[in-house]
C-alpha cells in the first residue's frame, strides 16, 4: 500500500510563484502556524505593528476551536454529539452552517454539509490508512441529508441523531475572509493569506503588478505548476484528488468523498480551481464542482457572475471557464 499525506506549504494546490522581497523592519512580516489540519501562512507586505500578526493568530485559534470536527468542545462537535437535541452556538457558526446548506441545495446534495458521518470513517492522516468497513460506510451514507439540519435563532438541531456536520469544505474559506476583513480594518492593503491552499491575494504586489499563482500539476512530487494565473484582490482555491490520498491494490482513494456512495468521488477530474472575491465561495464551489463532475460543474460556473474556474481532467488537460479573466 502506498499513501501520501500533504501538510507542507509546497503541497498546496496553488503555488505563489512570485511575491515581494527586499523589505526590512516592519514590512514583509509573516505569521505561520499549523491549524485546521493544515499549514497557515499570513504574510503582510505593508508596514505593520507586531500586534497585527498577533491578531491574525488569535483569530485563527478562535475559529479552530469553534469549527473543528474532532475537538470535543468545539461548537461543531457539540452539535454532532447532541444526539438530536438543539444546541446553542455562536452567530458565526450559524452563518457557516447556513452557507453549507446553501451549497448543498445548489448542488442538489452532490455537496452535503452532513457528510461528517462518512468523513469520520476515513482517516487519510493515519500512518497506514485503509478502506473503512463496507457496512459502516453504507450505514453512514443513510445519515447524510442536509435537510435534517434545523436552525432556529441561535440553536442548531440535527433531526437525525446519528447525522454529523463536517464544515471542512467551507470553514477555511470563511476564516480566510475574516482574516482579510481584520487586516483591512488594521489598514493593511497588501498581504497574502494562505490556509493550506485557500489563498487570498489582498491588493496587488507593492509595485502594482498582479500576483502570479501556480496551479499544481496533479501528483507531481515537487509541486510543479501545470499552469499559472494572474490575479489581484481575489481568492483562489483548488480541490484536487492528489492533496490527500492513499493507494491500495493499485487504486487511489482520495479525500473528496461522495455523499451518495460514501467512497471517494469517481469522475474524470483531477482538480477544480475557483477564482472569485470570496474565499468561502471559492472553497465551497471547488468541492461542489468536483463532486458535480466536469460537465455539470463547468455549466454551473458559467452561469455565475464574477467566478472563474480551471478544471484539470485526468488526462492532464486544462479547461478554462467561459470568459476566463486570469490567464498569463
88 φ/ψ angles, rounded to the nearest 5 degrees: -80, 130
Whether the pLDDT of residue 112 is over 80: the answer is: yes
Q: Which of 8-17, 39-48, 72-81, 113-122 has the lowest mean pLDDT?
A: 8-17
- How confident is the model at residue 13, as a pLDDT? 52
- How confident is the model at residue 14, as a pLDDT? 58
Q: Which of 59-63, 89-93, 125-129 has the lowest mean pLDDT?
A: 125-129
- And the C-alpha cell for 324? 476566463
Whether the pLDDT of residue 180 is over 80: the answer is: yes
Dist CA 286 CA 309 (whole Å): 8
Categorize the per-residue pLDDT at 18 as very low, low, confident or very high, splitting at 50, 70 and 90. Answer: very low
Average pLDDT for 58-75: 94
Dist CA 84 CA 47 (whole Å): 49
Residue spans of the domains in the chain: they are: 1-328
Whether the pLDDT of residue 10 is over 50: the answer is: no
Whether the pLDDT of residue 302 is over 80: the answer is: yes
Whether the pLDDT of residue 241 is over 90: the answer is: yes
Assigned CATH topology for domain 1-328: T-fold (3.10.520)
For 181-198, the pLDDT digits (tens) are 999 999 999 999 999 989
For 122-154, the pLDDT digits (tens) are 999 899 999 999 999 999 999 999 999 999 999
What pTM value is reported for the model?
A: 0.92
Average pLDDT for 277-306: 98
- And the C-alpha cell for 113? 454539509
- pLDDT above 70 coverage of the chain, percent: 92
Q: To the nearest whole number, what is the mean pLDDT of the chain?
A: 92
- And the C-alpha cell for 183? 487586516
For 33-57, the pLDDT digits (tens) are 998 888 999 999 999 999 999 999 9
| Greater model confidence, 9 or 203 | 203
Q: Which of 19-28, 204-213, 230-239, 261-270 has the lowest mean pLDDT?
A: 19-28
Dist CA 276 CA 304 (whole Å): 10
- How confident is the model at residue 216, as a pLDDT? 94
Q: Exposure of 226 by Cβ count < 10 A (0-12 exposed, 13-18 middle, 19+ buried)?
A: middle
- How confident is the model at residue 26, as a pLDDT? 78
Give the alpha-carbon dihedral of 264, 269, 275, 278, to 10 degrees.
Answer: -20
Amino acid at each position: 500500500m502506498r499513501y501520501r499525506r500533504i501538510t507542507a506549504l509546497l503541497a498546496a494546490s496553488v503555488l505563489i510563484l512570485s511575491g515581494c522581497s527586499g523589505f526590512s523592519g516592519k514590512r514583509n512580516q509573516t505569521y505561520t502556524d499549523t491549524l485546521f489540519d493544515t499549514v497557515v501562512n499570513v504574510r503582510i507586505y505593508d508596514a505593520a505593528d507586531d500586534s497585527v500578526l498577533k491578531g491574525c493568530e488569535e483569530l485563527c485559534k478562535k475559529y479552530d476551536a469553534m469549527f473543528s470536527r474532532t475537538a470535543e468542545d468545539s461548537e461543531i462537535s457539540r452539535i454532532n454529539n447532541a444526539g438530536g437535541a438543539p444546541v446553542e452556538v455562536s452567530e458565526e457558526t450559524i452563518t457557516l452552517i447556513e452557507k453549507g446548506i446553501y451549497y448543498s441545495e445548489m448542488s442538489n446534495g452532490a455537496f452535503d454539509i452532513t457528510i461528517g458521518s462518512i468523513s469520520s470513517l476515513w482517516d487519510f492522516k493515519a500512518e497506514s490508512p485503509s478502506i473503512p468497513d463496507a457496512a459502516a460506510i453504507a450505514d453512514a451514507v443513510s445519515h447524510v441529508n442536509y435537510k435534517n439540519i434545523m436552525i432556529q435563532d441561535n440553536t442548531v438541531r440535527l433531526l437525525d441523531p446519528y447525522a454529523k456536520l463536517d464544515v471542512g469544505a467551507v470553514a477555511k474559506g470563511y476564516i480566510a475572509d475574516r482574516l482579510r476583513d481584520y487586516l483591512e480594518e488594521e489598514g493593511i492593503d497588501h498581504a497574502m493569506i494562505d490556509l493550506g491552499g485557500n489563498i487570498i491575494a489582498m491588493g496587488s504586489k507593492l509595485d502594482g503588478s498582479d500576483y502570479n499563482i501556480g496551479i499544481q500539476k496533479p501528483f507531481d512530487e515537487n509541486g510543479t505548476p501545470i499552469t499559472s494565473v494572474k490575479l489581484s484582490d481575489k481568492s483562489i482555491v483548488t480541490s484536487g484528488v492528489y492533496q490527500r490520498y492513499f493507494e491500495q491494490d493499485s487504486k487511489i482513494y482520495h479525500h473528496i468523498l461522495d455523499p451518495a456512495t460514501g467512497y471517494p468521488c469517481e469522475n474524470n477530474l483531477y482538480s477544480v480551481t475557483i477564482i472569485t472575491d470570496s474565499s468561502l465561495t471559492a472553497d465551497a464551489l471547488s468541492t461542489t464542482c468536483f463532486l458535480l463532475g466536469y460537465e455539470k460543474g463547468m455549466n454551473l460556473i458559467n452561469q455565475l457572475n464574477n467566478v472563474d474556474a480551471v478544471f484539470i481532467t485526468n488526462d492532464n488537460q486544462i479547461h478554462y471557464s467561459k470568459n476566463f479573466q486570469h490567464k498569463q
